């Protein structure tokens, strides 16, 4: 009698990435969580059994801790419904939203409440939120944490949004003392403001010259110095310059609590790939010379860079070749896994590396792997008993040509158009339920103590 079967779902995989590395196993799901990980042909009666094709790898559901969903307030830009649908199509089961681009910006409990209200019932995967740090709102941080913020994000240079100004180094240090007291990470856009006017920027070479590596390098070093003095947990977002990799490695060896992310576009493209009028490549910090890309990859393989995040921020479609007028942000969430794998496979990386960079490391960083669960969502980032049955079936050897018409974002202009990528997502499960299925089953996450 099927009503009495012990498992809701069993997935049998010739290849799966678990805590033991890549292995052969069966994953049994009950009540939205992984109930057993056993031999691939062990008897496991279930309501539904899926046997993956031999060329498919079962990964933990991917987690992106750097996504910009301009919702509420960003009418016509990326929203919860489209952004989370794109994420599910790309193998992601959890994203964490940045505080910058919605209206209001997420720098107060009232704004976070508005964000959470806008998200409920519209998310196809689970969504958490970072709070924002701006001049004058230190007193808001502890209440924001209590209201569910996973941590906090700040900028050291211009943001383009007058409601979210940058911090000075002294304000950064004060923010670190407060986030250290609260016990959460401070994410930093580590790039100082260029001195000369944006009005002089027209071509990509102009844009790159306005955002030289030394502005990023100096900001990263300032963050490390403040972290040494405060003992705070800090996170460098979207590292594009490889010049500070030795300093980051040395700081970590000295006990500085620093984690680092880079992005698929920095690991895929180089400045030579960007035609002067191709504003779909505009992002901040910019895509740099090929030697930075190669050194970033070396830092990924060595473990100095912990994780990969999309910095997904699709804006209006480009209307012309002017880099000064163009919105800076790349639609990359749905393509993150194949873009990373296409570059990684030629550098000796394995699917186990993908699971670390895109699932277990982001989960640990955001506090989403805690035993008590996240907002009732359970533990995330691994294929292991007791964790959410968030899973991704990935065919690493299948390739495709990127067609924007197949992207699920609201805005689909992307620098990956026409590029051949390896790796196709054949299935995504959120707590054992296949996604996206047209129904928004995602949860709004809070920190693990709530």
Counting Cβ atoms within 10 Å, is residue 439 exposed (0-12), middle (13-18) or buried (19+)? exposed
Q: Measured between alpha carbons, how far is 289 from 12 in angstroms, rounded to an integer?
A: 43
Residues 324 and 308 placed together within one structural domain of the fold: yes
By C-alpha distance, which of 396, 383, 356, 390 is closest to 26?
383
The answer as to whether 442 is a domain residue is: no
Q: Which of 334, 366, 398 is the last residue of a domain?
A: 366
User: How confident is residue 321, by pLDDT bands cut at 50, 70 and 90?
Assistant: confident
pLDDT computed for residue 4 by the predictor: 54
Mean pLDDT of 213-219: 98
Among 307, 332, 366, where does a domain finish?
366
Are residues 188 and 326 both part of a single domain? yes
Phi, psi of 143 (to 5 degrees): -60, -35
Residues 17 and 73 grouped into a single domain: no
**Per-residue confidence band for 400, with pLDDT thresholds at 50, 70 and 90:** very high
The pLDDT value recorded for residue 322 is: 84
Kindly report which listed range (10-14, 118-122, 272-276, 421-425) carries the lowest average pLDDT score: 272-276
Residue 400 host element (H or E): strand 391-401
Residues 340 and 207 reside in one and the same domain: yes
User: What is the Cα–Cα distance from 115 to 109, expressed in whole angstroms?
Assistant: 10
List CB contacts of 419: < 8 A, sequence separation 6 or more. Answer: 401, 402
159 and 283: one domain? yes
- What does the alpha-carbon distance between residue 52 and residue 92 come to, in Å, rounded to a whole number? 18
- pLDDT band of residue 373 (cuts 50, 70, 90) is very low
Mean pLDDT rounded to a whole number for the chain: 94
Last-in-domain residue among 338, 366, 394: 366
Q: Does position 397 have pLDDT exceeding 90, yes or no? A: yes
DSSP element (H, E) containing 267: helix 264-268
- Banded model confidence at residue 371, pLDDT cuts 50, 70, 90: low
Q: Is the pLDDT of residue 377 over 60?
A: no
373-400 burial by CB neighbour count: b if 16+ within 10 A, else e? bbbebbbbbbbbeebbbbbbbbbbeeee
In a domain, 441, yes or no: no
Q: Is residue 401 part of a domain?
A: yes
Residue 378's pLDDT band (cuts 50, 70, 90): low
Specify the CATH number for the domain of residue 390: 2.30.40.10
Q: Are residues 137 and 227 in the same domain?
A: yes
Asked if 70 and 120 sit in the same domain, the reply is yes
pLDDT of 285 strictly over 70 = yes
Into how many domains does the chain fold?
A: 2
Main-chain phi, psi angles of 190, to 5 degrees: -95, 85
Say yes or no: 110 and 90 in one domain.
yes
- Residue 376: pLDDT over 60: no
Q: Do 343 and 422 share a domain, yes or no?
A: no
| Shared domain check, 303 and 389 | no
- Residues 47, 141: one domain? no
CA proximity to 428, closest of 48, 52, 61: 61
Cis bond before residue 285 (omega within 30° of 0): yes
Look at residue 173 and tell me if it is in a domain. yes
- What DSSP string runs through 45-111? -EEEEEE--TT-EEEEPEEEEEE---TTT-TTS--HHHHHHHHHHTTEEEEEE-SSSSSS-SSSHHH
3-state SS assignment for residue 21: strand
CATH number at residue 338: 3.20.20.140
- Assess if residue 440 is contained within a domain: no
Quick one: pLDDT at residue 198? Answer: 66
Say what the pLDDT of residue 449 is.
Answer: 41
Average pLDDT estimate for 202-228? 95
Q: Quick one: 197 and 300 in the same domain?
A: yes
Is the predicted pLDDT of residue 246 greater than 70, yes or no? yes
Mean pLDDT of 407-426: 94
The range of the structural domain enclosing residue 397 comes to: 2-58+383-435
Task: Judge whether 421 lies within some domain.
Answer: yes
Task: With a cut of 80, say whether residue 216 has pLDDT above it.
Answer: yes
User: Kindly report the CA angle at 371 between 369 and 373, in degrees rounded to 5?
Assistant: 70
Confidence (pLDDT) at 375? 46
The answer to the question of residue 198 being in a domain is yes
Of 163, 398, 416, 159, the C-alpha closest to 281 is: 416
- The answer to the question of residue 35 being in a domain is yes
């Amino acid at each position: 009698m099927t009503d009495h079967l012990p498992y809701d779902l069993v997935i049998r995989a010739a290849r799966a990435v678990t805590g033991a590395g890549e292995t052969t196993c069966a994953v049994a799901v009950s009540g939205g969580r992984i109930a057993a990980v056993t031999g691939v042909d062990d008897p496991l009666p279930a309501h539904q059994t899926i046997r993956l094709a031999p060329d498919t790898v079962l990964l933990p559901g991917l987690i992106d801790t750097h996504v910009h969903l301009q919702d509420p307030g960003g009418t016509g830009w990326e929203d919860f419904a489209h952004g989370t649908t794109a994420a599910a199509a790309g193998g992601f089961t959890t994203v964490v939203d940045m505080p910058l681009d919605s209206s209001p910006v997420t720098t107060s409990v009232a704004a976070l409440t508005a964000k959470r209200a806008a998200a409920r019932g519209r998310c196809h995967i689970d969504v958490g939120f970072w709070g924002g740090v701006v001049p004058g709102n230190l007193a808001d941080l502890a209440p924001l944490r209590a209201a569910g913020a996973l941590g906090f994000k700040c900028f050291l240079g211009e943001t383009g949004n007058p409601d979210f100004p940058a911090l000075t180094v002294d304000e950064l240090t004060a923010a670190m003392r407060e986030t250290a007291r609260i016990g959460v990470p401070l994410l930093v856009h580590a790039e100082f403001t260029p001195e000369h006017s944006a009005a002089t920027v027209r071509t990509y070479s102009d844009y790159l010259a306005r955002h030289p590596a030394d502005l990023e390098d100096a900001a990263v070093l300032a963050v490390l110095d403040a972290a040494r003095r405060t003992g705070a947990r800090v996170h460098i977002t979207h590292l594009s310059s490889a010049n500070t990799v030795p300093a980051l490695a040395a700081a970590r060896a000295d006990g500085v609590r620093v984690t680092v992310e880079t992005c698929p576009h920095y690991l895929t493209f180089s400045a030579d790939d960007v035609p002067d009028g191709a504003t779909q490549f505009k992002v901040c910090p910019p895509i740099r010379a090929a030697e930075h890309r190669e050194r970033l990859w070396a830092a990924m393989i060595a473990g100095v860079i912990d994780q990969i995040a999309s910095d997904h921020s699709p804006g209006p479609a480009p209307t012309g070749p002017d880099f000064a007028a163009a919105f800076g942000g790349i639609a990359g969430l749905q393509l993150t896994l194949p873009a990373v794998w296409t570059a990684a496979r030629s550098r000796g990386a394995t699917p186990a590396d993908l699971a670390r960079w895109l699932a277990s490391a982001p989960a640990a960083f955001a506090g989403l792997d805690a035993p008590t669960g996240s907002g009732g969502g359970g533990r995330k980032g691994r294929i292991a008993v007791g964790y959410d049955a968030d899973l991704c079936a990935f065919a690493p050897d299948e390739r495709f040509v990127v067609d924007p018409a197949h992207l699920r974002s609201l805005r689909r202009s992307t620098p990956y158009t026409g590029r051949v990528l390896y790796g196709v997502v054949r299935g995504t499960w959120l707590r054992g339920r296949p996604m996206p299925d047209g129904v928004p089953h995602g949860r709004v996450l809070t920190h693990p103590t709530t």
